[in-house]
Amino acid sequence: MVFNSIEFAIFLPVVVLLFYLLPQRARWFMLLTASCVFYMWFVPKYILILLVTIVIDYLAGILMERNSERPKRKKTFMIISIVSTLTVLFVFKYLGFVTENLTRLCALFGVETDLAVNIILPIGLSFHTFQSMSYVIEVYRGNQKAEHHFGYYSLYVMFFPQLVTGPIERPGNLLRQLHEEKHFDYDNISKGMRLILFGLFIKMVVADNLGLTVERIYDEPSTYNSWSVMLGAVFYSFQIYCDFFGYSTIALGSAKLMGYDISDNFRSPYLSRSIAEFWHRWHISLSTWFRDYVYIPLGGSRVKFSRWAFNILVVFVLSGIWHGAAWTFLFWGFAHGLLHIVEKVLKKNAKTLEPQTKVGRWSIDLLNVAKTFILVTLFWVMFRSSDFAQMKEMFVAMFSNFDVERQVVVDWQNFLYLGLFILSDIVLRNTRFDRWCDGKPLVLRWLIYAMLVFMIVVCSRVENVPFIYFQF
């Protein structure tokens, strides 16, 4: 079931209504059942994979707590849990990639064999794998008590608003809230509906329409002139942002309807002045996950520069691999890590003085924002390309096909949609749509709501376009 579907438009109100009608003691069961239905709407049998990881991590948490005075045994249970969970992730997400490359390697040495394995990736596997691992690690560290109620732990992993595309929640936030009794609050309903409406707009109107142009250009980049290919790259930057941001915003709103606060995953990342700031504003739940469970344990920044650079590259390469089993994703992650290191070196060795006037500082900030956006957009070409051949074709077409006789893409309506979104992103840089609406005049709020509904109905595509991050 996807958020931008008729099924979800029926499913969500029913769940929210049942939530408030049922007593607290029965809500966990209803939400868990609803989450199972939500997940099984895609491929029912894959819920068994999710159940296996849930059972393993649930038992590991209890066994670690029981052996809190036996550090070695406690650590053993943590390792068993993490290895088991990562093994499931490896088999379904990376085994095909590894066997395919082993087959190619054997061919280089004249050995003809076919080791390739093709397994369908369960939706959201990377997300709920990392969410389960955060629980196990926090219990091991003593920051989280083990959850002894199997139903509540299962609901923590399977909570439907953020089950398949995040944000990746920590037990200290979501698991705690699931135990709290929630009461009907009109403010929660109002804010939840605002977020869902805004999320549907940026997904169905902005992202999906930009995707039509992006798909045409990536399919045959050599047939378009360079300006059109550059435009396609820019459109993809905003397509993937609006697609993922739209999902996260609908997830926030869906949870808010029932009084649950889940984590913000984006804070206007394209207004960042550096790659480091970009990753503090983009997919925040994943960035902080790698920070807390990989970067800091490796030594973080409290080490010599060469070790710090190594830590950064490890984190970004792992982040690239997390997104997908392909060399392009690994290369994309490595490029971001390398640029992060280069930026730090340049900043450390910069000899220029900071401008003393506001105009001077704003000008520098604007240049840095433009620089960061251009670099991120170029890196998205690696991310979007199916292989290195397509990536090469895109870059060649982007910088060598200035022939005016080649095809030109002019989708004027997309500039309108994109302009409205960019304006909203600037306005909401330090806030969120539901909070921004608070205190605004009633007439203004309802004019905005009416405009969003009108554009969703009139300007969105006919078919339901899947969310991009479903594949991860």
SS3 content of the chain, % helix, strand, coil (to 5): 75, 0, 25
Task: Return the biggest CA–CA distance within the chain.
Answer: 75
CB-based contacts of 344, cutoff 8 Å, min separation 6: 276
Pair of tokens at residue 397: 């077409």
Q: How far is CA 467 from CA 64, 158, 263, in A?
A: 37, 18, 19
Active site residue 283: no
- SS3 assignment, position 20: helix
Going through 58-99 in order, the beta strands assigned E by DSSP cover none
Place of tokens 């280089």: 108
d(CA 76, CA 64): 9
d(CA 322, CA 133): 14
Pair of tokens at residue 410: 């002019």
Place of tokens 């709920």: 128
- Using DSSP, how many helices (H) and how many strands (E) does the chain show? 20, 0
Q: How far is CA 94 from CA 277, 326, 342, 470, in A?
A: 30, 9, 30, 16
CB-based contacts of 186, cutoff 8 Å, min separation 6: none
Place of tokens 């049922």: 22
Count of alpha carbons within 13 Å of 49, Cβ hemisphere only? Answer: 24
What dihedral do alpha carbons 408, 409, 410, 416 form, nearest 10°? Answer: -150
**Over the range 236-273, which residues count as b (16 or more CB within 10 Å of their CB) and which as e?**
bbbbbbbbbbbbbbbbbbbbbbbbbebbebbbbbbbbb
d(CA 134, CA 293): 8
Helix extents (H) in 292-427: 305-323, 327-348, 358-384, 388-400, 412-427
Catalytic site residue from 148, 280, 283, 323 = 323
What would the 3-class secondary structure string for 188-241 be? HHHHHHHHHHHHHHHHHHHHHHHHHHHHHHHHCHHHECHHHHHHHHHHHHHHHH
Active-site positions read 323
